[in-house]
């Protein structure tokens, strides 16, 4: 049951500008599941085993992340266009941005994050239910 007292109860606007800044520029984790590895590998035209060897590292047992280039860019970020090479197959972590717990717990967190994500507070209005579905889609 969604509580109506949340600070974002009237929804939030978001429209990605494809600036690419959330996909790189510093160290981070892009968690991937086995299903996501298999989908990405199929799109790439290689086996999941090879995809994992080339593009995935194990942070801790049972927790795998996409690799990064030395500059912090995600290994799936196109260097020239600064867009995800496999946008449709991107991991759920990427699909649910910016509606993550850590950004929604307090308005100040959303405001601080928005300073680095120009897609926030513009574009389509996401309803409370849509936001909650995305917020609870993964545990970060
Ligand atoms: S930082 Fe925001 S606007 Fe830029 S690519 Fe990421 S989601 Fe889109
Ligand atoms: S998988 Fe794609 S959307 Fe996700 S961080 Fe990497 S480049 Fe960005």
Q: Given the CA of residue 74, which atom of ligand 2 is nearest to it?
A: 6
- Among 91, 110, 95, 99, smallest CA distance to 136 is for 99
pLDDT in tens, 36-47: 999 999 999 999
User: What is the Å distance from ligand 1's center to 127 Cα?
Assistant: 19
Q: Which ligand is nearest to the CA of 22?
A: 1
pLDDT in tens, 64-117: 999 999 999 999 999 889 899 999 999 999 999 999 999 999 999 999 999 999
Q: pTM above 0.75?
A: yes
Unique residue bearing structure tokens 């897609």:
119
Burial zone of 96 (CB within 10 Å; 0-12 exposed, 13-18 middle, 19+ buried): middle
Q: Given the CA of residue 118, which atom of ligand 1 is nearest to it?
A: 3
Q: Whose CA is nearest to atom 4 of ligand 1?
A: 19
């Amino acid at each position: 049951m969604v509580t109506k007292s949340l600070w974002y109860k009237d929804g939030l606007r978001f429209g990605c500008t494809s600036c690419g800044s959330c996909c790189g520029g510093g160290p981070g984790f892009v968690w991937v599941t086995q299903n996501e590895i298999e989908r990405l590998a199929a799109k790439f035209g290689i086996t999941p085993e090879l995809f994992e060897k080339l593009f995935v590292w194990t942070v801790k047992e049972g927790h795998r992340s996409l690799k990064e280039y030395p500059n912090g860019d995600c290994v799936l970020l196109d260097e020239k266009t600064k867009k995800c090479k496999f946008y449709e197959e991107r991991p759920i972590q990427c699909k649910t941005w910016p509606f993550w717990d850590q950004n929604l717990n307090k308005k100040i967190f959303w405001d601080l994050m928005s300073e680095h994500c120009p897609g926030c507070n513009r574009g389509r209005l996401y309803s409370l239910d849509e936001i909650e579905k995305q917020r609870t889609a993964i545990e970060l």
